[in-house]
Structure 1
Amino acid sequence: MQNSLLTTVLLPVALAIVMLGMGLSLVPEDFRRISRYPRAVALGSICQIVVLPLIGGLLAWLWPMEPELAVGLVIVAICPGGPSSNLITYLAKGDVALSVTLTAISSVVTVFTIPVLANLALQLLMGSGAEISLPVVPTMLRIVLITLVPTAIGMGIRQRFTATALRLEKQMGRLAAGLLALIILLLVIKEAGKLPGFIAQVGAAVVALNLLGTAAGFLSARQLGLPLAQRLSIAIEVGIQNGTLAIAITAGLLNNIDMAVPAAIYSLWMNITGFAMVAFGRRKLAAAQGSGNG
């Protein structure tokens, strides 16, 4: 009963609300900004779409854990950035415009990369004879339906009814957070007997994925000479993933609750590092302003 409720009702509704809320925050300028900040957009996209999946794949390959958990870890890494990254970037005084642009780009690109990379992970980590797989074209269409269509609807509302969109955006965010919390609670109840063992196996790998991804984003942006605000944006964007989509793919499309455990753990942990980045960004900015005044 719980599994059916989770996969057929709560997950699609929660994901649609998350993506509708993101659409309400987007305007066409967010996509045109690619030509304005080409280096920052290119670096952030590479870190999100290439570097993080590579880190996830290496951790899944090297870390001793059950194959289902390893696949679940990879699926977290191949998902797009989470819309909450934009709020965390704002609180950290990062470049919000860049954050929104990177979230939008990764949400579009990963429609095509998720089915391919997820199937590759299934073959490598569970064996070529794995009984579960994602049919590529149908999976792309389903991801479009539950992510890009609500996003497009949200953008349409923003264009036509701006004041209404700005009011709805906050409410959608709260509702999506509440539904995600309920989904994680149902997963915890469903996996109560296995959860301590799962956390012992994959918990440290989840933390490592988040910390290494965040550090890779920040350090590569610093190496490229980008300003602090853009460094913060890229680091947060790489570290904050769309956990709801990862759970929808594992528990919904793949119908494997065990695979959803890394996504549930990541969804909780990423907020800790996200708000650590808020404290870090504010402190660095205050220090820079202090030295400037001095």
Structure 2
Amino acid sequence: MALAATLLPAALAIIMFGLGLSLTVADFRRVVAYPKATLIALACQIVVLPAVCLGLVLLFGLPPALAVGMMLLAASPGGTTANLYSHLFGGDVALNVTLTAINSVLAVATLPLLTNLAIGWFGGSGTLGLQFGESAKVVAIVLVPVAIGMAVRRFATAFALRAEKPVKIISGVILFLVIVATLVKEKDNLGDYIASVGLICLVFSVISLSVGYFVPLLAKVGRGQAVASCFEIGIHNATLSITVATLLLNNTQMAVPSATYGVLMFFTAAGAGFLLRSRTAVAERSTV
């Protein structure tokens, strides 16, 4: 996963600039004016998903290191890739950007807390401090390029409007190349990863995406915001959790769930996106 750790942040920064081209300050004003979607998504991310993951870990009977690795993954904030998926499949990108920023800041406290509780519960080793640097890095990758893109939209509106569709296509190509590069890089390890934690990672990914979409819908949140929540909650920052496991906890086995999930999530998220797009098309036809 070293390739993802170096390539993905740079690729996502470019993608975030493209997303900024489609955003205005008014988009964020709507998020502040209607905070329900933000609060529901944060509650799902911080409370519901760790509880779901704990249940899955106990159900599957994972050994301690892999169990802690799964809880570390669940405690990680939403990945910046969620912004791209939301952009491609009709979500409220302003909500995604807001949630990613808030989640990344909150993770400074929640990620060490939940991980240390898991280490104590499952009998792992090591403790985790507050990772301000990693949180600041995630925020910077999201907010700075988006702010630049928004500035271009504000002061060069005609250019931004012309560039929006080509940039969306380029963003999809970048995502595809990242997926291919990840699969090529990890081809020798994929079999072992999938054998040990593939099923639980797949189930966790599907549940995360489902919770992210259906809980906001049940709370009468708008469809675009529910799509944004689906990807924000359903796509965890696997690169961050791998870094924490290998460099800070010095335990490569704890990184296996995140490495496995980091490959699977591209496909489960894409599948969710196409299903949501189909539901939207059906809903639009039924209203005609």
Q: TM-score range by the shorter chain?
A: 0.7 to 0.9
2:38 alignment partner, one of 37, 41, 50: 41
CA distance in 2: counterparts of 1:181 and 1:220, whole angstroms? 32
**1:149 Cα deviation from its structure 2 partner:** 4.4
Aligned to 1:211: 206
CA distance in 1: counterparts of 2:114 and 2:260, whole angstroms? 21
Aligned to 1:282: 277
Aligned to 2:225: 230
When structure 1 is superposed on structure 2, of 16-25 and 38-47 the one drifting more is 16-25
Aligned to 2:194: 199
Q: Identity of paired residues, percent?
A: 30
SS of aligned partner of 1:234: helix
**1:43 Cα deviation from its structure 2 partner:** 0.8
**1:279 Cα deviation from its structure 2 partner:** 1.8
CA distance in 2: counterparts of 1:63 and 1:269, whole angstroms? 18
CA distance in 2: counterparts of 1:99 and 1:182, whole angstroms? 25
SS of aligned partner of 1:80: coil
SS of aligned partner of 2:79: coil
Q: Structure 1 residues 256 and 21, CA, compared in 2 at 3 Å: closer, same or farther?
A: farther
**1:76-91 alignment to 2 at 5 Å?**
76-91=73-88
Q: Structure 1 residues 31 and 251, CA, compared in 2 at 3 Å: closer, same or farther?
A: farther
**1:153 Cα deviation from its structure 2 partner:** 4.5
Say yes or no: does 1:133 pair with 2:124. no
Aligned to 2:134: 143
- Letter of the aligned partner of 1:283 in structure 2? S
For structure 1, the residue ranges without an aligned partner over 5 or more in a row are none
CA contact (8 A) 2:16 2:145 kept: yes
When structure 1 is superposed on structure 2, of 236-245 and 167-176 the one drifting more is 167-176
When structure 1 is superposed on structure 2, of 232-241 and 177-186 the one drifting more is 177-186
**1:234 Cα deviation from its structure 2 partner:** 1.5
Q: Structure 1 residues 290 and 169, CA, compared in 2 at 3 Å: closer, same or farther?
A: closer
**1:1-294 alignment to 2 at 5 Å?**
6=2, 13-14=6-7, 16-17=9-10, 20-21=13-14, 24=17, 25=19, 29=25, 32-127=29-124, 130=125, 132-134=126-128, 136-137=129-130, 140-151=131-142, 153-154=144-145, 157-158=148-149, 189=188, 196=192, 198-293=193-288
The 4+ residue runs of structure 1 with deviation greater than 3 A are 10-16, 18-34, 148-189
CA distance in 2: counterparts of 1:292 and 1:182, whole angstroms? 42
Q: Report the count of equivalent residues.
A: 276
When structure 1 is superposed on structure 2, of 206-215 and 162-171 the one drifting more is 162-171
CA contact (8 A) 2:5 2:239 kept: no
TM-score with structure 1 setting the length: 0.77
